[in-house]
Amino acid sequence: GCWLTATIVAAVGIIGFVGLAGPAITRMLGFRRLRSKLLMSAVFGAVLLCAADQGVQVLSGYIGTLVPAGALTGILGGPLLIIMIRQLRSNSQPSQNTSPAPEPDQSNIRNHLRVLAGVLLVIIGAILVGRDIHGDWQLQLGNALNTVWPWRGPRILGAMAAGTMLAIAGTILQRMTANPMASPESLGVSAGAAIGMIAIVFLIDAPTAWLQISGAAIGAFITLGAIFALTRKSGYAPERILIAGIAIGALFDGFIAFLMAGGDPRATRLLAWSSGSTYGLGFDRASVLAIIAVSALPILPAFARWLNLFPLGPVTTKSLGVDLSISRGVMLMFASILTAAATLLVGPLSFAGLISPHLAKLAGLRHALPHTVGAALIGAALMVAADWLGRMLFFPWEIPAGLMAAIIAGPIMVWLLMRVGRGAS
């Protein structure tokens, strides 16, 4: 698999979505034997990429610009996956998950205090440690802190709030789907927000920041409505939610890549936003984020029982009196709202929602409520650290917080995988 991927990338570049869409379509069509799945996945992948390449050649003749074939694979494959989801039998049984119940937390108070102490240390360091105009490191107190606070304060507050919301959404999705790789961006809400923002940028001359946010909000909630419509008949089965979100996200990402490849200067406005930048975030928008994040925390105890039972599998959860359709729908709505709120104001900040639940488990927080709260604290610290490193590491140049979070979380994820591998062996 690695050799095939390396050969393809070296020959034609990065082609997204084909490796996901081919096997998914094959599985939805009912192919179960390994030989049949391998053969038909190759056929569907070849047809999808060939269609994208031919479409690129036709479009290039009309617009006068060569568009990468990878930009059209999602546009062609996304609707195909959506059609397949709609045609699946509504009474098909979701995959049975037999994950064991979470073990009792040991020394919960001590674990919480350790996580809280780490978060406070990161936040205090981000507030007080910085560089002066000459690039020299200094501890900024008093007048020095007052001078930089109007710019530094909103970014720290916004990063904390966004990290908190994405971590909560990621924890809910991972426990609901029993998929350790589930994350907020897999819902497709971030891509929907980007499409809404693009619509405002292209339709209105010199749109204000709040007008762009309004367009992004409309796009995000239209995407959420589409996911609900596609997965309603299956009772919001977790695997259908993820497939629908990935398909819609790939479709929108294809449109975004197509517009950016066309060279339109209006599309370049998305570059900073799509990389998860907190640059230019004021106290007004940061305060909105903080209010939403703080409002989400008191709701978590109401979901604790559901989140404790979801890892036991759908059969056990239903036998214990939980209505799967209602509980999954409420969880999906809650996670999507948090993801949309964070995405609207600071862009699609990747990895915070994926890595924070794993780090919270590593800290010994395994029951649903401590796990979710611990992940929220870790997500806040991760995004504050990413924003601080992005501002200070290569001063006076900046790296967007979303990209820096991926740089930080990538090695951590590899280390966690190695740790799990050693434990399994």
Distance CA 28, CA 242 (A): 14
Cα–Cα nearest to 55, from 69, 66, 65: 69
Distance CA 226, CA 192 (A): 10
Whether omega for the bond prior to residue 357 falls within 30 degrees of 0, making it cis, is no
pLDDT score recorded for residue 187: 80
Cα–Cα nearest to 357, from 375, 370, 331: 375
Query: Higher model confidence: residue 237 or residue 320?
Result: 320
Q: Name residue 353's beta-bridge partners.
A: none
pLDDT score recorded for residue 90: 46
pLDDT score recorded for residue 69: 60
pLDDT score recorded for residue 96: 45
pLDDT tens digit string along 283-314?
888 898 899 999 999 999 999 999 999 888 88
Q: What is the mean pLDDT of residues 60-88?
A: 61
pLDDT score recorded for residue 93: 45
Q: Retrieve residue 27's tokens.
A: 């599985």
Of 2-16, 66-80, 270-284, 401-415, minimum mean pLDDT range: 66-80
Q: Are 340 and 227 in contact, with CB atoms under 8 Å apart?
A: no
User: pTM of this prediction?
Assistant: 0.79
pLDDT tens digit string along 357-408?
998 988 888 888 999 999 999 999 999 998 898 888 888 788 877 778 878 8
pLDDT score recorded for residue 216: 81
pLDDT score recorded for residue 373: 92
Domains of the chain: 1-87 (no CATH), 110-424 (1.10.3470.10)
For 232, how many CA atoms within 13 A lie in the half-sphere containing its CB? 6
CA 5 to chain CA centroid, Å, is 24
Of 2-11, 92-101, 107-116, minimum mean pLDDT range: 92-101
Rounded to whole angstroms, what are the CA distances from 9 to 6, 43, 70, 75, 387?
Answer: 5, 19, 11, 20, 31
pLDDT tens digit string along 206-232?
778 778 778 888 888 888 888 888 888
Distance CA 314, CA 325 (A): 11
State the residue for tokens 């997965």: 231
pLDDT tens digit string along 132-179?
777 788 888 888 888 888 888 999 999 999 999 999 999 998 998 888
Average pLDDT, the chain: 79
Q: With 70 as the cut, is the pLDDT of residue 415 above it?
A: yes
Distance CA 357, CA 94 (A): 24
Rounded to whole angstroms, what are the CA distances from 386 to 156, 180, 291?
Answer: 10, 22, 21
Q: Are 167 and 376 in contact, with CB atoms under 8 Å apart?
A: yes
Rounded to whole angstroms, what are the CA distances from 307 to 219, 237, 283, 377?
Answer: 28, 15, 34, 18
Q: What is the mean pLDDT of residues 262-273?
A: 67
